[in-house]
Structure 1
Amino acid sequence: MKINIIIALCLASMHVFGQKRITISGFVKEKGSQELLTGANVYITRSATGAATNNYGFYSLTIPASDSVTITCSLVGYETITKTISARTDVELSLALSSIRQLDEVTISARKQDDNVSGSAQMSVVEIPIDQIKKIPSLLGEKDVLKGLQLMPGVQKGTEGQTGLYVRGGGPDQNLIILDDAVVYNASHLFGFFSVFNSDAIKRVELTKGGFPARYGGRLSSVVEMDMKEGNKEKLHGEGGIGLISSRLTLEGPIKKGKSSFLVSGRRTYIDVLAAPVLNVMQKKKEQKGFRPGYYFYDLNAKINYDLGAKDKLYVSGYLGQDKFYVKEESGSFKMKAGLNWGNTTATMRWNHVFNRKLFANTALVFTNFNFTTTSYIREPIVDESNATTESRLRYDSRIQDLSFKSDFDFYPNASHAIKFGVQATRHKSTPSALAMSGTDAEGTIDPLEKPMYSLEGGAYVEDTWQPFDALKMNLGFRMSYFKADKKTYLNPEPRFSAALKLAPDFSAKASYARMNQYVHLLSNTGLGLPTDLWVTSTDRIAPQQSSQVAFGVAKDLQNKGLTITLEGFYKDMKRILSYQEGASFLGVNGENANDVSWQDNVTSGKGWSYGSEFLIQKKSGKFSGWIGYTLSWIYWKFPELNNGQTFHPRYDRRHDVSVVGIYELNKRITMSASWVYGTGNALTVPSAIYYPMSDNFFTRYDPSDKALNDLYLNQNSNDRRYAASEFPAKNSFRAEAFHRLDLAIQFHKKKKRHERTWEFSVYNAYNRKNPFFYDRSEEKMSDGEWKTVLKKYSLFPVVPSFSYNFKF
């Protein structure tokens, strides 16, 4: 009897371990355009076994063989589909999802919300559908993906209207901004008021604030990953818009129907054209006919893709954007020209290959370039009887250029593991500052300040999304980063971990840890993201920045209401962060000639830390959608050479940050939206006192109550107070007024026979809140003749109404 039982158990175990397993794999596409869909959930119905499509729409599921299985595929914004197939052998199954835009209202409202949050091991990830971004009110009607991200918790806004992102205590340079695998260094147009990303050309945008997967590296605070549309493979499609300051047009369609497609998207502002008549009138009144300033920006996105067969796809994409600001003046023998130009160029070539049903690879060659140039030419007469003129020219350049190679693999050995691994290598060529001067009033030509610097950055990584049992899913990763500059080599291990424990079908607890290193740095003393901010790399003297971040949170899906709720807390420690020394800028230190010092002599290194909590309730689809976000956080910096070595808050420290966004589709023809934001004022440094010159070498502090001293000053200086000196308190010890603003918009849609048009009317800052842009302490003479020290607040935008016309065909 015992022998028989043992034999039976052995046979049973052999049956379990010997059971045949099959793999179902393929691509998920959008029905009608054949656009590949990222992040779609493909799973066995009524089972915990499932997978999500990668960035190229590929998925793989390994399950026990059976006569048949039912597959479910879902993605927010698309109709959920199910399909029953035979599962006796490996299956290649591609799926097509219909956009909810093609469905009627009843189907949309009845649609089940996906449990993406509670079903994923990843945390601190924010994704806003592009269609939702296009409905949010915006400044002058310019839809902006970065400003959409600014409305999410954990993301602090810069100053009024700026597109800079300050994520969990990090600066704007600590965000890895990726467009089709290419790094974008400067993401701002119009001195920071608009981003360089045309939303008509973008398919997906995702922000990761913590718990970074091992495949990402090179920045401390966040990853903003954007994918361009691939182009419609079935028919020609276009969309565009005409706004107050710019117009845009996007065209996409098949090159060879069903096999290849193209996309071209362009945008240009016409501020220079609109301003010309106004400037002409002003110049006539002031008799300055030869003076003419101007500004414009443009950007261009392009992409082609080709199916080389069932297992191979080729993509080529690029971006080109430029800002140009210029001033010209000519009067008699006097002539002046000055310009400020900056822009990005990226190019990406990618090859996708499916080795088999379990192994997928993407190999990319990437070029990216950011350059900033300022030029000046002056010709003026010499003050003598010769009627001769003198000429001088100045050119200042700053540039960073990358050439990268990367290869990433997705391996799906079984239903419990999804493994990613790969290598990346980037050659940086940076020229932080190159100044050239020449002319009859200059002693020869000044050579460039800095010779081009070459460095190599690399990384190898592996990560595994492991589900040991139904309730637990983990992402375990490790990255080894490498950087070599001159004779110095940096090698840094970067462990990563994130996990989600499902406590109920729609509720989970999450935790994560990530270490990051940053080898490319932005030097700024404005905080505004201006093009004069310099991009530099680590050197023998400048070590890489490093951060460690832990986060904990809970997530809940309210299936019956289509809501997702998340609550997270985080702590981040930052080492070797860079800042300019007191009084330093890209042209020198404390007024020293820029030719005498290197940028490495201008900077100082310190540490920082931040912590806080974030709350988000979000609804991504339906007749009413939007979100409410709240952040409570603290940010601290400490530099031995700043603020006398004392701890201080950086400029973008905000204790409270609130955003409320609502989008309501009244009917098929009318969409209304509103957004309200509130934030604690920025931490600033303003003068605490003013000193006046009583003699050539003596300054005295101004005291309005000391009449005798005041009279003495007035007598000696003839009522001229321009040459006062200021006394500054502790760094950033002044807190600006709270920031809040309400924006409103309404869209009127109408479907024509061959196209769809939308009129949008919006109001930025609807209740005319005078939010502080900057402060200045000065002296004003009162009506009684007394002088008084006052702190003036300067605001930027009052109520700004706008309208735009948008179309699709």
Structure 2
Amino acid sequence: MLVLNKRWLQVLATFLLVIPASAQRHSISGLVTDAETGESLIGANIHAVSFETGTVSNAYGFYSVTLPEADSTTLVFSYIGYDPQVKKVYLTNDIRLDVSLQPAAGLLDEVTVTADASAEANVRSIRMSVVDVPIQYVERLPAILGEADVLKVIQLLPGVQAGNEGTTGYHVRGGANDQNLVLMDEAIVYNPNHLFGLVSTFNSRALNNVELVKGGFPAQYGGRLSSVLKVSMREGNRRQFDGRAGIGLVSSHMTLEGPILQDKLSYMVSGRRSYLDVVMRPFQKDRLYYLYDLNGKVNYQPSPNDHFYLSGFQGRDVAEYTDASGLGYGIRFGNSTGTFRWNHIFGSKLFSNFTLVANEYFIRVNTIQGQFYSQNYSGIKDLSAKASLEYYPAPRHHVRIGGVATRHRFRSTGTGGQLPTGQVLGHLETNSIPEKTSDEFALYVQDDWNSSERIGLSAGVRLAGFDAPDVSYSALEPRLSVRIGITPESSLKASYTVMNQFVHLVPSTTASLPTDIWTPASKTARPQKSAQYALGLFRNLRKGEYEASVEGYYKEMNHQVLFREGTHLLAYDEIDSQLTFGRGWSYGAEFFLKRRRGRLNGWISYTLSWTRQRFADLNRGEAFPFRYDRRHNLALVGTYDLSERWSLSGNLVLLSGSPYTLPVGRVYGSQGGELYQGLFYDYDKVNNYRMANYHRLDLAATRKIKTRWFKEGELVLSTYNTYSRRNPYFVYLALDDKTQEPVGRQISLLPIVPSISYNVRF
């Protein structure tokens, strides 16, 4: 008993000693914003010079740093593309300090001016496998048909494999399309594509920030195995009216923003629409295609401690085709999201966020050939509620706790048959389709602590659950990241994450078309699960002018989903019986070198990777390469400022060929018949051949134009696939006219695609 009492006295003495020490510490907190627009600056650096410590602003521009009491200290606020700002404060009590940073003057400075504190985040941050994508890169790099595209830039990063030629599909560290969590203002976007994947659904003029997480996932993220793409919309200019517009070869866009109540209430609305249907209507009345998307946001700050956001998005694609033979099809698909958020600052160390989200995705496909028809529909609607608290007990200590609950509603059906003569194909009533409902929920806690200049630890856990009428699942997902400083310019990082996925995207074709089916976990289709290990070396060179990293990873994926061999899906209510389940694994190394300052800046990325899958019911149970297993992936990206008016940009990509399946022989049916003239092919293994290597050069030139009617104007000239490389889109089987032997023939989709666009700001 005496020993126990002594131990309690020791604990009490320690506690009493800590209290006075804690009382001598004060917090500086506030918001970091753009001085011209009032937009929150995400990831701005705050550096306390005297104490050699600091922090970064969160996803809403809030920061908090706690320091020992002092007569005065100097804080440096910095952000890429903005002039750094120095503040001298007196630490005698807690301070609220809101800072507005001024954008660096001119496009040249916007790219070249970068604070050293920003470069240090590459080495000093605990997080790894995370890439911030500056919007100026998205808008300046070449793109198909002149459409600035977030997902095209994502494909140029290490660890990311592009999908089919020209498309915006992407695969991260051996994962499938459905294993990427895509969020726009915290709402899930299930299909982030337009134009059958050639253009993404994100209008870059409406965006504020883009971040890709490939590994070392914080506990607030879950529900997908491979990556998180976090996209934030612009908040709307709170100081003055601002407008942007542009016209290109296939679409036009316009963005308007401005204050309703000065510095308190603002709006942003942005729209984009293609006009191929209008241009081609006089010439091709049997074909129709158009796309559009709308973004809107209202931002209200009634007090320094409260901030409300209301944002929405809608995107649609419509395609119709008929010909003289009686073949016709119609495709409609799209996403809709709505988000309401409330930020509240409880004090200098406590920040909260509460969110309500509604989102929807649907795809409707009608096909008719002669008197035969098919109608297919698949849709998913979500309602979600989220809450999180962020606590900053010390300058290098950040704790986050929160929870999320989502109600999923799935509707899918398919029908087909023969139409009576003279009857017109009717409309498929979606409200009569049986609905599957399920609930997904999670609670999490995350603790990030840089205990010293050399050691940093991020530990978290996420309790995830899924509930449907006939089955329930729960899982514990640990998250751990460690940073060890080697020198002030280099560090070693490691991470371990477990993720679970309760909804599946079952591909009904091998092409990147929006005809896939989302389906929830069930007794048969169990949740997918992954465990990822990563190790990386990070280093800054020449005082932060260059940042470099090398990361190695290994990822295991269980309960992967594919259709069985020979499946022809005729109805959607028995999908589970047509599925087969297996496992996959991926490993590789990623190399990244980025130049942050100077007239010429950009990056080089190279990925060496292997991805395999094994299914008991496929390929005789033997392992086979994943559809997008590419051994080598090299990307060179650069922008160069010739002058204040002219700038150049370009990217060169080189990829190994992706696997595909070809037969190893052929046999003739004994009864002959009309189908393939009695010829049947013998398929030995899955993905037993590889397409030709892929390489492409894209170039762009931008000229700033001064006009009397607009604040700014720019003319953009670009070429996609500049030397018109015939890259493989897919391979089909045909008989050689001379030898009558089966041969694989390559189809190429996009030759050189020149484009021109004109953008203005008013």
Pairwise TM-score range, normalised by the shorter structure = over 0.9
C-alpha spacing 1:757/1:277, structure 2 compared with 1 (3 Å): same
2:379 to 395, 399, 423: 399
Deviation at 1:111, TM superposition (A): 5.4
1:604-636, CA deviations, whole angstroms, 9 ceiling, x for partnerless residues? 110000000000011245421110000000001
State the match for 2:3 in structure 1: none
State the match for 2:750 in structure 1: 797
Amino acid of the structure 2 residue aligned with 1:518: Q
Q: Answer yes or no: is 1:432 the counterpart of 2:412.
A: yes
Q: Normalised by the size of structure 2, how large is the TM-score?
A: 0.93
Matches within 5 A, 1:174-253: 174-253=179-258
Q: Note if contact 2:81-2:114 (Cα within 8 Å) is conserved in structure 1.
A: no
1:727 to 677, 682, 689: 682
Structure whose CA Rg is larger: 1
1:380-405, CA deviations, whole angstroms, 9 ceiling, x for partnerless residues? 7xxxxxxxxxxx87542110110000
C-alpha spacing 1:224/1:523, structure 2 compared with 1 (3 Å): same
State the match for 1:781 in structure 2: 737
Deviation at 1:254, TM superposition (A): 0.8
Secondary structure of the 2:58 match is coil
C-alpha spacing 1:407/1:75, structure 2 compared with 1 (3 Å): same
- Of 108-117 and 39-48, the range deviating more from structure 2: 108-117
CA RMSD of aligned residues (A): 2.7
1:130-163, CA deviations, whole angstroms, 9 ceiling, x for partnerless residues? 0011111111111110110000010001110111
State the match for 2:715 in structure 1: 759
Secondary structure of the 1:186 match is coil
Q: Note if contact 2:489-2:539 (Cα within 8 Å) is conserved in structure 1.
A: yes
2:589 to 607, 613, 619: 613
Q: Answer yes or no: is 1:322 the counterpart of 2:330.
A: no
Secondary structure of the 2:532 match is strand
C-alpha spacing 1:602/1:13, structure 2 compared with 1 (3 Å): closer
Deviation at 1:48, TM superposition (A): 3.5
1:301 to 295, 315, 335: 295
1:600 to 564, 567, 576: 576
Q: Normalised by the size of structure 1, how large is the TM-score?
A: 0.88
C-alpha spacing 1:14/1:613, structure 2 compared with 1 (3 Å): closer
Q: Distance in 2 between matches of 1:231 and 1:433?
A: 41
- Of 123-132 and 438-447, the range deviating more from structure 2: 438-447
State the match for 1:538 in structure 2: 521
State the match for 1:287 in structure 2: none
Q: Answer yes or no: is 1:128 the counterpart of 2:108.
A: no
1:475-528, CA deviations, whole angstroms, 9 ceiling, x for partnerless residues? 111100010011321110000011211211111110000000000110014343
Deviation at 1:273, TM superposition (A): 2.1
Secondary structure of the 1:118 match is helix
1:161-182, CA deviations, whole angstroms, 9 ceiling, x for partnerless residues? 1111100000000000000010
1:1-52, CA deviations, whole angstroms, 9 ceiling, x for partnerless residues? xxxxxxxx99x96897365111111000011101011111112114342111
Deviation at 1:530, TM superposition (A): 1.7
Matches within 5 A, 1:733-748: 733-748=688-703
C-alpha spacing 1:119/1:489, structure 2 compared with 1 (3 Å): same
**Same amino acid, percent of matched pairs:** 39
Deviation at 1:107, TM superposition (A): 11
State the match for 1:711 in structure 2: none
State the match for 2:64 in structure 1: 60
C-alpha spacing 1:15/1:229, structure 2 compared with 1 (3 Å): closer
Secondary structure of the 2:174 match is coil
1:155 to 160, 174, 184: 160
Q: Answer yes or no: is 1:486 the counterpart of 2:466.
A: no
Amino acid of the structure 1 residue aligned with 2:243: G
1:418 to 378, 392, 398: 398
C-alpha spacing 1:247/1:18, structure 2 compared with 1 (3 Å): closer
Q: Note if contact 2:670-2:678 (Cα within 8 Å) is conserved in structure 1.
A: no
Q: Answer yes or no: is 1:365 the counterpart of 2:356.
A: yes
State the match for 1:512 in structure 2: 495
Q: Note if contact 2:120-2:544 (Cα within 8 Å) is conserved in structure 1.
A: no
Matches within 5 A, 1:536-685: 536-560=519-543, 562-585=545-568, 587-588=569-570, 594=571, 598-685=574-661
1:458 to 441, 455, 467: 441
Q: Answer yes or no: is 1:76 the counterpart of 2:73.
A: no
Q: Distance in 1 between matches of 2:429 and 2:244?
A: 48
- Of 444-453 and 599-608, the range deviating more from structure 2: 444-453
Amino acid of the structure 1 residue aligned with 2:274: T
State the match for 2:34 in structure 1: 30
Q: Distance in 2 between matches of 1:110 and 1:211?
A: 26
State the match for 2:342 in structure 1: 351
Q: Distance in 1 between matches of 2:110 and 2:749?
A: 44
C-alpha spacing 1:765/1:23, structure 2 compared with 1 (3 Å): same
Q: Distance in 2 between matches of 1:68 and 1:221?
A: 46
Secondary structure of the 2:624 match is coil
Q: Distance in 1 between matches of 2:271 and 2:49?
A: 43
Q: Note if contact 2:104-2:113 (Cα within 8 Å) is conserved in structure 1.
A: no
C-alpha spacing 1:401/1:415, structure 2 compared with 1 (3 Å): same
Deviation at 1:689, TM superposition (A): 2.7
- Of 270-279 and 681-690, the range deviating more from structure 2: 270-279
Q: Distance in 1 between matches of 2:287 and 2:17?
A: 82
Q: Distance in 1 between matches of 2:19 and 2:501?
A: 52
Amino acid of the structure 1 residue aligned with 2:736: E
C-alpha spacing 1:604/1:217, structure 2 compared with 1 (3 Å): same
C-alpha spacing 1:609/1:559, structure 2 compared with 1 (3 Å): same
Deviation at 1:437, TM superposition (A): 7.4
Q: Distance in 2 between matches of 1:133 and 1:140?
A: 14
Secondary structure of the 1:366 match is strand
Deviation at 1:679, TM superposition (A): 0.6
Amino acid of the structure 2 residue aligned with 1:74: S
Q: Distance in 2 between matches of 1:247 and 1:339?
A: 24
Deviation at 1:791, TM superposition (A): 2.2
Q: Note if contact 1:674-1:744 (Cα within 8 Å) is conserved in structure 2.
A: yes
Deviation at 1:215, TM superposition (A): 0.5
1:346-380, CA deviations, whole angstroms, 9 ceiling, x for partnerless residues? 00000111111111111010001001112357997
- Of 616-625 and 398-407, the range deviating more from structure 2: 616-625
Corresponding pairs, count: 744
Secondary structure of the 2:296 match is strand
Secondary structure of the 1:117 match is helix
Secondary structure of the 2:451 match is strand
State the match for 2:10 in structure 1: none
State the match for 1:340 in structure 2: 331
- Of 458-467 and 74-83, the range deviating more from structure 2: 74-83
Amino acid of the structure 2 residue aligned with 1:557: N
C-alpha spacing 1:505/1:498, structure 2 compared with 1 (3 Å): same
State the match for 1:279 in structure 2: 284
C-alpha spacing 1:740/1:73, structure 2 compared with 1 (3 Å): same
Unaligned runs of 5+ in 2: 1-12
Q: Distance in 1 between matches of 2:645 and 2:543?
A: 26
State the match for 2:275 in structure 1: 270
Amino acid of the structure 1 residue aligned with 2:687: N
Q: Note if contact 1:775-1:793 (Cα within 8 Å) is conserved in structure 2.
A: yes
Deviation at 1:95, TM superposition (A): 0.8
C-alpha spacing 1:374/1:235, structure 2 compared with 1 (3 Å): same
Q: Distance in 1 between matches of 2:742 and 2:106?
A: 63
State the match for 1:95 in structure 2: 99
Q: Note if contact 1:432-1:599 (Cα within 8 Å) is conserved in structure 2.
A: no
